[in-house]
């Protein structure tokens, strides 16, 4: 299952209908600062049923509508259409849904072109294994949030992400699977470190701590890690948690900011591993991530400031060679 097609119209900086076709493996969205890359993620998230303005990076619902410029009027309607496909096969089963909204707050949901209630829409998306897709997103501002929290808050955040009752704790089999995934991912990203999940309780509050043992028997707690080590651990932890959720795609918005060259290389192996099971739609400026792309999507702005897709490439060996040498 993967997100195959996204069409955006009137949403934030996308004034005109804009189509993009993603690949089942890794799709990379690239472009300069401010061209509208993160707006694409917002559009997907909104069409998946998100209503929280905060999570859509807005103050008011009006912020979702293209605001207009000297050549184009403001949008009065937004429409985002998503197509999912069961597999890469040509005749694989697919599903197209869309969400529309007008400035007076009227929403319209469709499934295969037919009107649907919000409940039918939600159920249809769940039937396509996307129950948790709104959770498998890492925003560029959020990369370190889980590792920066105090352990009791981390425990609550993990329970909330996993829909677990915090008073009952985290079940043993879940802990084992999480620990296994985390160890595997850290094996790529920080092979010199041994990582251990620690569930405990302090002052009556349950907490979740992570200990990292470095060479020389140095045992570090999360807050003692360097910025880059935190980013690596955070990414591994988040994706290990995502592995427990039901989502066919992860949206990753510039998640590799403060990694050194060695880490970028191991990051490639890590991303390949994750993308073997889950589609990754990644926003990045990094060459090493771009080299992994199955498709490349170039976003640009027109002279009037609105966004458009300047190019779309299906990556192949020849293109990759060309890319690497220029």
Shortest gap between Cβ of 140 and Mg ion (angstroms)?
5
Contacting residues for 313 by C-beta, under 8 A, at least 6 apart: 295, 296, 319
DSSP alpha helix (H) spans, 4-144:
37-47, 118-127
Q: How many Å apart are CA 213 and CA 97, to the nearest integer?
A: 47
Distances (CA, A) of 91 to 86, 87, 88, 252: 9, 9, 9, 29
For the stretch 180-207, what's the b/e string if a residue is b when 16 or more beta carbons lie within 10 angstroms of its beta carbon? ebbbebbbbbbeebebebeeeeeeeebb
- The footprint of ligand ATP on residues 216-235 (CB under 6 A) is none
Q: How many Å apart are CA 313 and CA 296, to the nearest integer?
A: 5
The number of beta carbons lying within 10 Å of the beta carbon of residue 116 is 17
Output 153 or 285, the one with its CB closest to ligand ATP.
285
Q: How many Å apart are CA 253 and CA 283, to the nearest integer?
A: 5
34 makes contact with ligand ATP (CB under 6 A): yes
Considering CB under 6 A, how many residues would be counted as binding ligand ATP?
A: 15
Shortest gap between Cβ of 326 and Mg ion (angstroms)?
25
DSSP alpha helix (H) spans, the chain:
37-47, 118-127, 145-148, 151-162, 172-189, 227-242, 261-275, 287-290, 317-325
Shortest gap between Cβ of 204 and ligand ATP (angstroms)?
41
Picked from Mg ion, ligand ATP, none, the partner binding residue 247 (CB below 5 to 8 A depending on kind) is none
- The footprint of Mg ion on residues 210-239 (CB under 5 A) is none
Choose, by CB under 6 A, the member of 1, 18, 37, 139 that binds ligand ATP: 37
Choose, by CB under 6 A, the member of 25, 36, 151, 243 that binds ligand ATP: 36
Picked from ligand ATP, Mg ion, none, the partner binding residue 49 (CB below 5 to 8 A depending on kind) is none
Choose, by CB under 6 A, the member of 7, 23, 38, 136 that binds ligand ATP: 38
Q: How many Å apart are CA 276 and CA 232, to the nearest integer?
A: 20
Picked from Mg ion, ligand ATP, none, the partner binding residue 167 (CB below 5 to 8 A depending on kind) is none
Picked from ligand ATP, Mg ion, none, the partner binding residue 249 (CB below 5 to 8 A depending on kind) is none
The dihedral region occupied by 150, where left means phi > 0, alpha psi between -120 and 50, and beta the remainder, is beta
Q: How many Å apart are CA 25 and CA 146, to the nearest integer?
A: 26
Q: Pattern 33-62, binding to Mg ion, x per CB under 5 A?
A: -----x------------------------
DSSP alpha helix (H) spans, 21-101:
37-47
Picked from Mg ion, ligand ATP, none, the partner binding residue 51 (CB below 5 to 8 A depending on kind) is none
- The footprint of ligand ATP on residues 98-157 (CB under 6 A) is 140
Residue 300, phi then psi, degrees to nearest 5? -140, 170
249 makes contact with ligand ATP (CB under 6 A): no
Q: How many Å apart are CA 144 and CA 233, to the nearest integer?
A: 9
Output 222 or 231, the one with its CB closest to ligand ATP.
231
- The footprint of ligand ATP on residues 61-80 (CB under 6 A) is 63, 65-67
Choose, by CB under 6 A, the member of 1, 4, 6, 12 that binds ligand ATP: 12
Listed ranges 60-68, 107-115, 130-138, 176-184: which one lies at the site for ligand ATP (CB under 6 A): 60-68
Interaction site with ligand ATP (CB under 6 A): 12-13, 31, 33-39, 63, 65-67, 140
Q: List interacting residues with Mg ion (CB under 5 A).
A: 38
């Amino acid at each position: 299952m993967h997100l195959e097609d996204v069409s955006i119209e009137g949403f934030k900086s996308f004034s005109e209908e804009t189509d993009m076709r993603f690949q089942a493996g890794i799709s990379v969205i690239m472009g300069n600062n401010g061209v509208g890359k993160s707006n694409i993620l917002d559009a997907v998230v909104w069409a998946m049923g998100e209503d929280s303005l905060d999570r859509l990076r807005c103050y008011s619902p009006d912020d979702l509508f293209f605001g207009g410029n000297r050549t184009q009027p403001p949008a009065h309607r937004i429409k985002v259409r998503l197509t999912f496909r069961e597999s890469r096969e040509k005749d694989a089963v697919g599903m197209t849904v869309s969400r529309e909204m007008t400035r007076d707050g009227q929403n319209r949901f469709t499934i295969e072109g037919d009107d649907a209630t919000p409940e039918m829409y939600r159920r249809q998306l769940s039937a396509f294994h996307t129950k948790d897709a709104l959770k498998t997103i890492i925003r560029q501002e959020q990369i370190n949030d889980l590792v920066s929290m105090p352990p009791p808050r981390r425990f609550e955040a993990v329970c909330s992400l996993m829909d677990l009752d915090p008073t009952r704790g985290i079940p043993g089999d879940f802990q084992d699977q999480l620990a296994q995934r985390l160890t595997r991912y850290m094996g790529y990203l920080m092979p010199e470190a041994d990582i251990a999940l620690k569930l405990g309780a302090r002052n009556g509050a349950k907490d979740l701590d992570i200990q990292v043992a470095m060479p020389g028997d140095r045992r570090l707690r999360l807050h003692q890690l360097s910025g880059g080590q935190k980013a690596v651990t955070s990414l591994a932890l988040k994706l290990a948690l995502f592995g427990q959720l039901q989502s066919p795609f992860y949206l990753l918005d510039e998640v590799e900011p403060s990694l050194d060259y060695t880490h970028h290389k191991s990051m490639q192996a890590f991303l390949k591993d994750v993308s073997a099971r889950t589609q990754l739609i990644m926003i990045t400026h990094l060459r090493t991530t771009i080299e992994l792309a199955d498709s490349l999507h170039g976003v640009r702005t027109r002279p009037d400031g609105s966004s458009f897709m300047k190019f779309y490439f299906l990556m192949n060996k020849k293109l990759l060679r060309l890319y690497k040498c220029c």
